Structure 1
Amino acid sequence: MKRILLLALGAQAAIAFGANTAETVPFSENFDNLTGFRSGWATLDVNNDGRTWSPYSNQATVEGDFFTTIGIDDWLFTPAIPLEQGKTYVLEFECTKGYGDNNPSLEIKYGLTQTPEGMSQSVLPATVQDLYFANDKQRIVFKPTATGDYYFGFHGTGTEVGGIKLDNINIKEATMPSAVTGLTITKSATYGDTKVQVSFRAPLTSVAGSTLQSLEKIVVTRSGVTVKTIENPTPNEEISFEDVCAYGSGNYVWKAVPYGADGEQGIAAESAPVFVGVNAPAQPANVKVVEDGHSGTLTLTWDPVTTDRNGEAMPAEFIDYQVLFNGSYIVPTGATSPHVFKACEPDEQIFAHVAVAAKSSYGSGVTATGTFVAGKPYGEYHESFDNAEISHPIEPTATDLQKPADLNVYDTAMLMMALGLEGDADGTDGCVAITSQYTGYSAGIAIGKFNVDGIDNPYLTFATHYCPIQQGVNMKNVITVSADTGNGYEDVLVYDMAGHNGLEGWHRVEMPLSQFKGNDVMLMIKGTIINSPYVLIDNINVIDYKDKNLTARTLSAPETVNPGESFYVYGHVENTGKDATPVAEAVLLLNGRKVATAKVEALQPGNTAIVSFGQKLTIVNEPANVYTMRVDYADDMNADDNLSAAVTVKNVLPKYPAVGDLRAEKSGKNSVALTWSAPTGEMEAEEITESFENGTDFAHSYGDWTFIDRDGNPAGNYDNLPGLSSYSGPFIANGTNYLNFAARTGNKSLAFVISEEGETDDWAISPRLSGDAQTVSFYACGYDKYGYAYESFRFLASTTGNDPDDFTEVETDQNLSFIGGKEWQHFTFDLPEGTTYFAINYAPDYGISLRIDDITFTPGDSGEALDLLGYNVYRNGVKLNSETLAECNFAENEVPGGDHTYHVTAIYNRGESRGSNPAEVSFEVSLDKVEAAGISVSGREGEIEITTSGNAVDYMVLTADGRCMTSGVAEGSIRIPASAGIYLVATPAGAVKVAVK
């Protein structure tokens, strides 16, 4: 029966296996077929992790805990082995690393007790051993200083998960030859030559010191390959030979191993690594990049390389140069200094990563210039991360490579899911999030190059979010703004978030930039984690900081609409001034004309209001309609930022033949006669983008589409969507209240869910196609909630009917399987001529839900005959006729004064055509009518005066070329500053032309 003895070691004890009796020399252990260590062996678990050395798979092994990531600190002790003073012994063993990528340390000692303290003599120091190559025999010669029974201890350590495997331990008297001496590798004098001279002296004695009478051989290897065997060398003989490195350039190690007359292997001698052949060049020095003004054209220079990476002189004929720009080789070979290239256009800005590589046939040395910002500096600037996208180039920066935080752009859904926050700072669905669970970790964003010389009072402002850690505990994260005027980034603002003292929400950070006038400056914003896991950055601005200022920010609208379809245009108005602002007005302009207004609520500094404008385009609006938003605020001190950027809405007009020759003629005082010809031509095939916005929420049908629940199984309705109790086929999802079903554009999409039980087999089949060859494209997205479902679908086409059995799968190189989540994947499929329908089949193996949005394709004619029924006439977008006109003419009397645009549409049995060509006429405005309405308009020196009888009156002032200069509401008397010229002032009673001196 096995006995287990505990040897007291203070707080720790070695576990001994069986009786401890002395072994004999030679001693050996191969651990073969063991389930436990033999008698006399012992182990010690120093780090008390419950894991230590044990026999496993014919080896002794020790490994850390993968799940707790605790490393190893464990001893394996041999039984007692008798050694004699004056004798020389050799310890042989084989060793390799266990699992994991780290390299543990192995220490070997011996002493008189099986304890760490008793291990008094060192055989192998506690250094990290190269254990990546398995089971190389290690041989270490040693001499005990006294006679006794010694225990050998194998001490494995490592701070990371990993382990050591030990095998074939032998201890015996050393009689083998000692190592050769003077092993020298002499390279050729010709650079790049792969010949070397190997020389050494054969050993004279054994490792025990006795003189050798003879040797069997000396084997010389080069990096493991035998290159020379010297048979029967004389002890102490000088040996030299030439070796040609047949494998070409590289680092090589030569090893000479002698063998005694009895064939026993002696001690190996090994050279230091020697590079032979053509090495990689050294890194180019003095690499510089300069820009020609702000042109975006860069000049890169460097010093010629004269040595290889080891410092050896390297002739120029072996060196080639390459230039890299933002990760690509713009000059893959033959580059010369100086090298001039264009990084960007003069009106653009780009972060330029430039490097030069000195290259040889073996490798290259690369020197980068660091980040360089090329192109036109920004003046005023606005970055709001709209829809979690970046509108200006930014540079994510790991400000501390040892402690890097994560940096991402989050949308509203991600803010809620990851951080529990309800929204970003300005309602544009995006902000930068710097996150980490570790104190002191940081990251930053470089936002670009600026020149603020043209700004009266330049300021950097941005928003950050403060949330208390818990009741009474402040967030202590830190935000740092750094500036670089050419000598590297220096901190210019340190913002301690603890200063908010528990006031939760978004706060504006402000920093003056006047000190940088006269210079270009690069700016970076860094967040450092102290006691909260996130730093949020949003709504970054460089502005002319006024006391009172409202700024028109972004404007958003649907990409496409149908005539008569109601939609909203949303605008963002920010108070970028120092003072709170009262109620103001936002004006929506369509192609430069005022079409709607909205109230802008009073705003505190740094806050943003979202205004909405209900809109509807008609059949006579243009295909492309440009909206802008103007902010009207009487006390505004900066009119230059009152007009938003434009957004274009595509009016999807029908393809019925339209009138193309409308003519308008005046036929008396304020009368117009219109004439035209009947339209000719055939119905055009029209490409459309279907975004399902006109569908009924969660309906199981849509227009001419065919939805089929072919499996007939109940839906896996994980989000409790309405209408899916027993139906699991395609449906129209509205993501407004179901974020996991958010659409790509708008609110709705085509959606599928898996069956609750059994297989899923659901089909969404298109309307009939045009029959022409076409490309179908759409976007697909998996389930948002978990982000790991493996979604897949099939895309099929039919040249006959629209039954599922009529379809065959369309060949594609695209991967139609993808991981679910927030990212929308774009797919395109080419359909040949004669295709009548396409289908999307959802039958995943592991999916949860699939959404499809924005399907672009060309539907076909319904087959119904196209009959012309008559015409409609429109003036300024308003239909004039109450009944359909049968003839190609129309007369209108008592036309109001002003400018007017007429259109005619053709009415068919299948619908109304788009508008005709425009026909324009103008009539003088009767001043009597304007005055009769109690309105007086006059031009003065430097201004226009509008006076009303007391009622509020809308007005618009147009320049001579038709542009809207301003608009508003007049009540009483107002004066509008204006430069000298002719203006048209429009009111509900008519328009008056005035001259300003």
Structure 2
Amino acid sequence: MTDGGESDIVATRALAVGKPYEEMTESFANGRLNHIFLIKKLTSAEMSWSLYYDNGIQGIASQDKDNGYAASVADYIDAAGALETGKLLIPSDIDNPALSFYTYNITDEDQQADANLIEISVAEAGSNEFTTIYSRSVNEICQGQPGWGKALASLTAYKGKTVVVRIAAVVKAFKYTAIDNLKIENMTGHDLSIISISAPENVMIGNGYTVDVNVVNEGANPAEQYSVELYADNELVDIKECSDLPVATTEVVSFARTMHQLAEQPVSYHAVVVYANDAVSDNNSSKNVIVYPRQSVLPAVTDLTAKRTADGAVLSWNEPDISQGVYETVTEDVEAGEAWAHSLDGWTFVDGDDFAVGGFQNISIPGITIGETKASFFVFNGTETGNNTFRAHSGDQYLASMFRSDDGTVDDWAISPMLSGNAQTISFYVCSYSSQYPEKIEVLASSTGKQTTDFAVVREATTVGGNWELVKVSLPAGTRYFAIRSVATGSFMLMLDDITFEKSYPADHLMIMGYNIWRNGEKINTEPIGKCSFTDAEAPDGKVTYVVTTVYNSGESSGSNAAILDMSSLDRISANISVYTDGRNIVINGARGKLVRVNTVDGLTLHSATAGDIASIPVASGVYLVTVDRQTTKVFVR
């Protein structure tokens, strides 16, 4: 205002005022803010920041699973905009203060990298001079992996100062740049931690599986050399040597394991990261994860016997009865399937509509070209996408059926393995990927074969909701196969997981291929034994436990009954002479023509004679001294 009049209104630059925040933890939970932020447009092109619920942007759910995140949105390349905090007092009593948050790496069907830039700048309160302290592409922050990745910028230079922090997004590839779980934290100079350990809950005996350990560098410096130790029931079982873990990056260290064929008890795993420079030890060990063995229902030997002879331990048994076949209740969780495969062991998939399928805007599906590939059900790995909206009901994988590219009616069949034939209730979990474009399924049953014309409807077509839901269907006696059929029109993607049913191993499909011999828990044959007897000529001294497993064309049985021998009395006095017990008899083999004496420990002689090829001396339970040619051994008779 002057003597000449009053000017038009002009807005000043926004300036943070008031008492500074002494902490900053903002997770945007449920699409709401706990702190004040300023939205700053940095270019002439329009750009805005908004709060979103899970899947508010298709395919993006919150990093910390609290139903909220923030994201910038712009339609033009090089458009830039920022979130500015209010005044922040950077603590002076921590060594390495840092700003951290997560950003989401979007990919499209062409696997284009998310080149959008994220820049972090800092200005002291009251100043408009921002200094850029961090600039990386989203793809770099996320190490080329789709999904959420952690950005971490040191604020050590501003310890004890009051500042304003600006988080800017610059469009280079995609219109959205999402962030979540923002906070000021203390970066220790050197700090590796284990953030998770995972393994399947149940594993069939004899099968392999993987224990995955997630290690993150939460320190201010890169970690050059470190190792991860894996413990099973508190016993060290494997070590992986690792190197070069940059700041704020995560490494998945995988351990291959096998469920022992004779396992009956669960295995408890935990992991420890070992890093010489680590300044924080509290986060070096993982929690325990427990893996339960699943027993085979294939018929097992039940009458194993073991006997000591001069030639060693002689085992014998009878062939298991397979005349009636067997059946078991199983849950197909799809975890054993190959990710993205269009087949699954035992299952039959039929593409009844014979039409090309559709796909997703920002996520490609390996093996599927939108509008070209014809497909039925296939194995979908929900974790490889890095997108929580694709998560399985359990584990990582499930069966999926895509919509037709012309939005016509889908006709995809998932036909089960052979059933027991008993009346039973099957169950499964099903979900529509998008509740806006719901799926529809029907369930059918066949008492004969697996051709689609063999099936009759047992559950009429019903609409599927947008959350995992349990479906149960009763099947009549005599049912040999069931089918889950996708029949929606103008839908998106059907998700199917954890299918439980009673599976059959009919007698005419079972064939015994041989037997494996286990001594004290270790298999001692290299190829299956083709007969129902075995001699272990290398039985060690002491108590020995034998178990036999039956090898079939469709798998291997659980262990037989245990046969236990006490070989502690066996002592080869010379290269060709052996002394052992057989029940209440002391047996000397190979001492022909030699003087054999058997004494009690108090000196009483029970036997003294020249031996034949085999000498068998009956005695009572006790401890005896056996002398052959002036060489003496102690024998225990039970």
Confirm or deny a common fold (TM above 0.5).
Answer: yes
Deviation at 1:636, TM superposition (A): 4.9
Structure 1, 645-654 or 914-923: larger mean CA deviation: 914-923
> Over aligned residue pairs, what C-alpha RMSD do you find?
5.6
Deviation at 1:585, TM superposition (A): 1.4
Deviation at 1:722, TM superposition (A): 3.8
Contact 1:904 1:916 in 2 (8 A): yes
Tell me, yes or no, if structure 1 residue 818 matches structure 2 residue 453: no
Tell me, yes or no, if structure 1 residue 884 matches structure 2 residue 529: yes
CA distance, structure 1, for counterparts of residue 459 and residue 342 of structure 2: 29
What are the residue-to-residue correspondences of 1:300-379 with 2, within 5 Å? Answer: none
CA distance, structure 2, for counterparts of residue 730 and residue 811 of structure 1: 19
Distance 1:672 1:798, change over 3 A: same
Match of 1:795 among 443, 452, 463: 443
TM-score, structure 2 as length reference: 0.56
Equivalence for 1:686: 328
Tell me, yes or no, if structure 1 residue 711 matches structure 2 residue 353: yes
Match of 2:491 among 829, 836, 847: 847
Deviation at 1:710, TM superposition (A): 3.0
Equivalence for 1:827: 471
Query: Deviations for 1:92-147, whole angstroms, at most 9, x for unmatched residues?
Result: xxxxxxxxxxxxxxxxxxxxxxxxxxxxxxxxxxxxxxxxxxxxxxxxxxxxxxxx
Tell me, yes or no, if structure 1 residue 779 matches structure 2 residue 432: no
Query: Deviations for 1:341-369, whole angstroms, at most 9, x for unmatched residues?
Result: xxxxxxxxxxxxxxxxxxxxxxxxxxxxx
Deviation at 1:655, TM superposition (A): 0.4
CA distance, structure 1, for counterparts of residue 116 and residue 374 of structure 2: 46
SS in 2 for 1:864: helix
Query: Deviations for 1:213-254, whole angstroms, at most 9, x for unmatched residues?
Result: xxxxxxxxxxxxxxxxxxxxxxxxxxxxxxxxxxxxxxxxxx
Deviation at 1:628, TM superposition (A): 2.1
What is the letter of the counterpart of residue 770 of structure 1?
S
Tell me, yes or no, if structure 1 residue 749 matches structure 2 residue 399: yes
CA distance, structure 2, for counterparts of residue 640 and residue 665 of structure 1: 54
Equivalence for 1:612: 254
Query: Deviations for 1:141-181, whole angstroms, at most 9, x for unmatched residues?
Result: xxxxxxxxxxxxxxxxxxxxxxxxxxxxxxxxxxxxxxxxx
Equivalence for 1:912: 556
What is the letter of the counterpart of residue 557 of structure 2?
S
Equivalence for 1:434: 69
Give the unaligned 5+ runs of structure 1: 1-382, 386-393, 444-456, 479-495, 513-526, 925-997
CA distance, structure 2, for counterparts of residue 685 and residue 460 of structure 1: 61
Distance 1:807 1:598, change over 3 A: same
Contact 1:626 1:646 in 2 (8 A): yes
Distance 1:663 1:626, change over 3 A: farther
Number of residue-to-residue matches in the alignment = 469
Query: Deviations for 1:875-915, whole angstroms, at most 9, x for unmatched residues?
Result: 46653123415235542526499x98754202346542123
Deviation at 1:802, TM superposition (A): 3.9
Deviation at 1:572, TM superposition (A): 1.4
CA distance, structure 2, for counterparts of residue 764 and residue 833 of structure 1: 21
Deviation at 1:633, TM superposition (A): 3.5
Equivalence for 1:464: 101
CA distance, structure 2, for counterparts of residue 860 and residue 539 of structure 1: 55
Sequence identity (%)? 27
Contact 2:339 2:397 in 1 (8 A): no
What is the letter of the counterpart of residue 853 of structure 1?
D
Tell me, yes or no, if structure 1 residue 501 matches structure 2 residue 133: yes
Deviation at 1:608, TM superposition (A): 3.4
Equivalence for 2:594: none
CA distance, structure 1, for counterparts of residue 131 and residue 544 of structure 2: 60
CA distance, structure 2, for counterparts of residue 407 and residue 761 of structure 1: 35
Query: Deviations for 1:658-685, whole angstroms, at most 9, x for unmatched residues?
Result: 245767899999x867676765696553
Distance 1:510 1:714, change over 3 A: closer
SS in 1 for 2:418: coil
What is the letter of the counterpart of residue 791 of structure 1?
E
Distance 1:755 1:400, change over 3 A: closer
Contact 2:36 2:85 in 1 (8 A): no
Deviation at 1:579, TM superposition (A): 5.9
Equivalence for 2:482: 838
Equivalence for 1:857: 501
Equivalence for 1:871: 515
What is the letter of the counterpart of residue 840 of structure 1?
I
Tell me, yes or no, if structure 1 residue 769 matches structure 2 residue 414: no
Contact 1:571 1:612 in 2 (8 A): yes
Tell me, yes or no, if structure 1 residue 644 matches structure 2 residue 292: no
Deviation at 1:801, TM superposition (A): 4.5
What is the letter of the counterpart of residue 404 of structure 2?
I
Contact 1:431 1:537 in 2 (8 A): no
Kindly indicate whether structure 1 or structure 2 has the higher relative contact order, using CA contacts under 8 Å at least 6 residues apart: 2
Deviation at 1:705, TM superposition (A): 2.7
Match of 1:627 among 269, 283, 299: 269
Distance 1:762 1:614, change over 3 A: same
Contact 2:206 2:259 in 1 (8 A): yes
Distance 1:587 1:871, change over 3 A: same
CA distance, structure 2, for counterparts of residue 755 and residue 861 of structure 1: 39
Equivalence for 1:165: none
Contact 1:771 1:833 in 2 (8 A): yes
What is the letter of the counterpart of residue 685 of structure 1?
Y
Distance 1:710 1:409, change over 3 A: closer
TM-score, structure 1 as length reference: 0.38
Tell me, yes or no, if structure 1 residue 568 matches structure 2 residue 215: no
Contact 1:466 1:497 in 2 (8 A): no
SS in 2 for 1:501: strand
Distance 1:432 1:763, change over 3 A: closer
SS in 2 for 1:816: strand
Contact 2:192 2:278 in 1 (8 A): yes
What are the residue-to-residue correspondences of 1:3-82 with 2, within 5 Å? Answer: none
What is the letter of the counterpart of residue 443 of structure 2?
F
Deviation at 1:746, TM superposition (A): 3.6
Contact 2:351 2:411 in 1 (8 A): yes
CA distance, structure 2, for counterparts of residue 547 and residue 697 of structure 1: 39
What is the letter of the counterpart of residue 464 of structure 1?
F
What is the letter of the counterpart of residue 465 of structure 2?
F
Distance 1:751 1:894, change over 3 A: same
Distance 1:473 1:560, change over 3 A: closer
Return the index of the structure with the highest Cα Rg.
Answer: 1
Distance 1:668 1:705, change over 3 A: same
CA distance, structure 2, for counterparts of residue 830 and residue 608 of structure 1: 46
CA distance, structure 1, for counterparts of residue 538 and residue 189 of structure 2: 53
Tell me, yes or no, if structure 1 residue 556 matches structure 2 residue 198: yes
Contact 2:298 2:326 in 1 (8 A): yes
Contact 1:464 1:535 in 2 (8 A): yes
Query: Deviations for 1:534-582, whole angstroms, at most 9, x for unmatched residues?
Result: 54217999x9x97655433311223444455544321112345566544
Distance 1:584 1:755, change over 3 A: closer
Contact 1:555 1:629 in 2 (8 A): yes
Deviation at 1:766, TM superposition (A): 1.3
CA distance, structure 2, for counterparts of residue 563 and residue 539 of structure 1: 45
CA distance, structure 2, for counterparts of residue 564 and residue 399 of structure 1: 52
Deviation at 1:609, TM superposition (A): 2.8
Distance 1:850 1:803, change over 3 A: same
Deviation at 1:697, TM superposition (A): 6.6
Distance 1:565 1:430, change over 3 A: farther
Distance 1:498 1:464, change over 3 A: farther
Distance 1:556 1:876, change over 3 A: farther
SS in 2 for 1:846: coil
